[in-house]
Amino acid sequence: MIIFYKMLNPLLLTSLTPLIGIFFVLLLPRERKTLLLNLSLSFTCLTFLFSLFLWFQFDSGTSFFQFKQSFLFFPNTNLIYSIGIDGISLFLILLTTLLINICILTSWTSVKFYLKEYLICFLTLEFCLIQVFAVLDLLLFYIFFESVLIPMFLIIGIWGSRVRKIRAAYQFFLYTLTGSLLMLIGIIFIYLKTATFDIQILEASNFSIPTQYWLWLAFFASFAVKIPMVPFHIWLPEAHAEAPTAGSVILAGVLLKLGGYGFIRFSIPLFPEASIYFSPLVFTLSTIAIVYASLTTLRQVDLKKIIAYSSVSHMGFVTIGIFSLNTQGIEGSLILMLSHGLVSSALFLCVGVLYDRHKTRIIKYYAGLVKVMPLFICLFVYFSFANIGFPGTSSFIGELLVLIGVFQLNSILTMFVTSGVILSAAYSIWLLNRISFGNLKLNYFTAFQDISRREFWIILPLVILVCWMGVHPNSFLAETHFSILSILEHLNI
């Protein structure tokens, strides 16, 4: 009876439903493709429904972890499966469960081989990502943090769209795994010092300042590659260019947020003095990323690489906001991470629509699409302006709060950061103009089809959420406020 009561915990249901889905998909024969798709979608929809209950029942008036649950699987060890969420992890779980549904729907007709394995990879990815945001044990966090690499490696390497997919998959895997090895060494050192992996206990531990410096750098090596920050970003454009559309959606929508989540959850509360000390380093790398990635975006000819480099620029805003070490900056970074997860996913879906029809992502082949694909262009205009940070969209709120947070520290730095907004407008409007207007290039394509009903309904939730977050941001900020204040209490400033 006690076990049954514990199973009613919506966080535990959200965590375990993808795992149950994997078991049932494994039992089905691979020839039953429609049944495989319907079953996988049913389990991902159920997971999303359970995650919504987390939001409905969430108490925004406290900074404590909620929906906590602990299981001791190995009695003679300190390894405890303990889960719980606060305002920081709540919306990242919701973002994950939403985008996995979109990934399954996007792949409904595009995956021609190994469909069963493909669906298992996405269910495994969903399970691991939810665990990353929910576990309260440092070692388990690392295990799930790295486990994400395996299904993503397979998605890029097997179902990628071009001949360089194997190289891109290995590049993604090796870059991100190598960066995380230093974090593993840091975790082992922390355990030897404190004899615990419990995050809540570790937050109350006081490491010496030299120890904090070394541990902060060890964790930074892992999180900086995941975001990714310049100069650790080389793997990202290649991975996006070779991944299938659904792979790009989950990579940009959630996987890039793991680094930002790690900085907020671990770097600041566990190593507060080191976070203050190294903040100029983060500001420098982030400012370079904003300017360099924006200028590089203007030189790209592949539609996916354009969005990928713009992601590097936007993540520069996120890291600057996090290490402004004030409420506005961190809240803005969290909103910007959620916004980028919605907007970049929608832009990759739009590129996927074009690729499904014409089998190319090279920009020179597209022009004048407003004449033959007006509905598609309306959606593309909407998300392009959201990517700029236009008022009324979710990105505007995030960037505004980040700029307010940075301005409290340094007005000159704010000027450099603001240049990213101008450059973002430059490459977004340039791209929009190139594919929307001008004369149709009929020597390349002669048949055109506007966005289908299925594609429209896939993208519509992202349209609504981007508008909702831009018009009524307090729906999201109210849940995060006390959790962020609790993080900042560790800083002696």
Please tell me whether residue 172 adopts helix, strand or coil conformation: helix
Q: What is the pLDDT of residues 202-245, one digit of tens each?
A: 888 888 899 999 999 999 989 998 888 888 888 888 888 888 88
Does residue 295 lie in a domain region? yes
State percent of the chain over pLDDT 70.
Answer: 97
Q: What is the DSSP letter of 359?
A: S
pLDDT at 342: 94
Q: What is the pLDDT of residues 106-150, one digit of tens each?
A: 988 888 788 889 999 999 999 999 999 999 989 999 999 999 999
Q: Which residues contact 186 (CB under 8 A, 6 or more apart)?
A: 214, 215, 218, 219
Q: Which amino acid, one-letter code, is at 52?
A: L
pLDDT at 2: 46
Does residue 493 lie in a domain region? no
pLDDT at 5: 43
pLDDT at 78: 66
For residue 428, count other CB atoms closer than 10 A to its CB.
25
Q: Which amino acid, one-letter code, is at 287?
A: T
- Half-sphere exposure for 15 (CA within 13 Å, toward CB): 23
Query: Is pLDDT above 80 for 199?
Result: yes
Of 81, 102, 59, the C-alpha closest to 12 is 81
Does residue 338 lie in a domain region? yes
Pick the residue with more confidence: 466 or 60? 466
**Is 416 in contact with 380 (CB distance < 8 Å)?**
no
Q: What is the pLDDT of residues 68-79, one digit of tens each?
A: 888 876 666 667
Q: Which contacts qualify for 57-61: CB closer than 8 Å, 24 or more apart?
A: 57/10, 58/85, 58/87, 58/90, 58/479, 60/87, 60/478, 60/479, 60/481, 60/482, 61/482
Mean pLDDT of 88-93: 93
Query: Is pLDDT above 70 for 7?
Result: no
H-helix segments, 107-244: 115-134, 138-147, 149-159, 165-194, 199-203, 209-226, 235-242
The single residue listed with the structure tokens 């060494």 is 185
pLDDT at 4: 44
Of 13, 14, 35, 44, the C-alpha closest to 121 is 44
pLDDT at 236: 84
pLDDT at 336: 93
State percent of the chain over pLDDT 90.
Answer: 43
162: its two tokens: 């071009």
**Residue-number span of the structural domain to which 281 is assigned:** 2-488
The span from the CA of 267 to the CA of 183, in Å, is 11
- Half-sphere exposure for 161 (CA within 13 Å, toward CB): 21
Residue 363: pLDDT band by 50, 70, 90 thresholds?
confident
pLDDT at 104: 92
Q: What is the pLDDT of residues 291-346, one digit of tens each?
A: 888 888 888 888 888 898 888 888 989 999 999 989 999 999 999 999 999 999 99
Q: What is the pLDDT of residues 457-488, one digit of tens each?
A: 999 999 999 999 999 999 899 889 898 998 88
Query: Is pLDDT above 60 for 15?
Result: yes
- Helix (H) or strand (E) run with residue 404 in it: helix 394-407
Q: How many domains does the chain have?
A: 1
The span from the CA of 133 to the CA of 94, in Å, is 10
Q: Which residues pair with 322 in a beta bridge?
A: none
The span from the CA of 348 to the CA of 362, in Å, is 14
For residue 434, count other CB atoms closer than 10 A to its CB.
16
The span from the CA of 424 to the CA of 388, in Å, is 6
Does residue 330 lie in a domain region? yes
pLDDT at 238: 85
pLDDT at 382: 93
Does residue 399 lie in a domain region? yes
Residue 22: pLDDT band by 50, 70, 90 thresholds?
very high
The span from the CA of 401 to the CA of 468, in Å, is 17
pLDDT at 173: 87
The span from the CA of 416 to the CA of 316, in Å, is 12
